[in-house]
Structure 1
Amino acid sequence: MAESTAGEVALTEQAAKRIVALLSSESPGSVFRVSVEGGGCSGFQYQFAIDKAPAPDDAVVERDGARVAIDPASLNFLTGAKIDFVDDLMGQSFRVDNPNAVSSCGCGTSFSL
């Protein structure tokens, strides 16, 4: 199945499966939130959280039952990005492949423009 997009942000099948598992123990209507904040070792950092519901102005990416909310300011940084979930020797984590990032830190959770 093709990746689902909202505002050109894509969610992979692996990320959707993990988000569905995380939200299964949350209240109905809950969403997985991805945001961009100042900080981190490269200038900006990705934040992941669970919210009870999306805000009225959020973009919502949906795929295979997973719902991801992105606020308008963060969406500006994430246009064209792909959100994935990986399970490798370094551990399990969500990763963002962001074409807007000029560089990112070794851990992959912060980036610069």
Structure 2
Amino acid sequence: MSDADPFALPTSDVDRVLTISDSAVKRITKLRDMEGDDQLMLRITVSGGGCSGFQYAFDFDKDTKAQDMLFEKNGVTVVTDETSMDLLAGSEVDFVDDLMGAYFQINNPNATASCGCGTSFSV
């Protein structure tokens, strides 16, 4: 019996990239300034749940763990764990401010479907 994660997508090290849009950089910078702590990183976690099978969670964190992967752009760092990265590989972190509201959005090429709110997806 294999210990492999049944939800993990096959990815190479080259595919295990997470990009950060300019809009997301600006918003993370603004939120860090509001908190008065330029060491805060945006942590993205993928977990089971939501109306489509998986859901994104966003939080600020100052600490990293051994299994974390860090991605930086213009002084802003986004961190995620290796298990979440299996589902995020090749994605872009964006920040959207429109008539529907202001929110972080993941443009995920691995998602085969997503819910209307954009925080839940399936593969």
TM-score calculated relative to the size of structure 2: 0.82
Does residue 42 of structure 2 align to residue 35 of structure 1?
A: no
The equivalent of 1:90 in structure 2 is: 100
Match of 1:44 among 21, 40, 54: 54
Secondary structure in 2 aligned to 1:36? strand
The 2-side partners of 1:28 and 1:91 are apart by: 25
RMSD: 1.5
Match of 1:108 among 102, 112, 118: 118
Identity %: 45
Q: Unpaired segments of 5 or more residues in structure 2?
A: 1-14
TM-score calculated relative to the size of structure 1: 0.89
Larger radius of gyration: 2
Does residue 10 of structure 2 align to residue 10 of structure 1?
A: no
The equivalent of 1:20 in structure 2 is: 29
Tell me the amino acid that sits aligned with residue 8 of structure 1.
V
Does residue 64 of structure 2 align to residue 54 of structure 1?
A: yes
1:34-58 CA distances to partner (integer Å, 9 max, x unpaired)? Answer: 0101000000000000112222321
CA contact (8 A) 1:29 1:53 kept: no
Tell me the amino acid that sits aligned with residue 20 of structure 1.
T
Q: Unpaired segments of 5 or more residues in structure 1?
A: 1-5
The 2-side partners of 1:52 and 1:93 are apart by: 21
**How much does 1:105 deviate?**
0.2
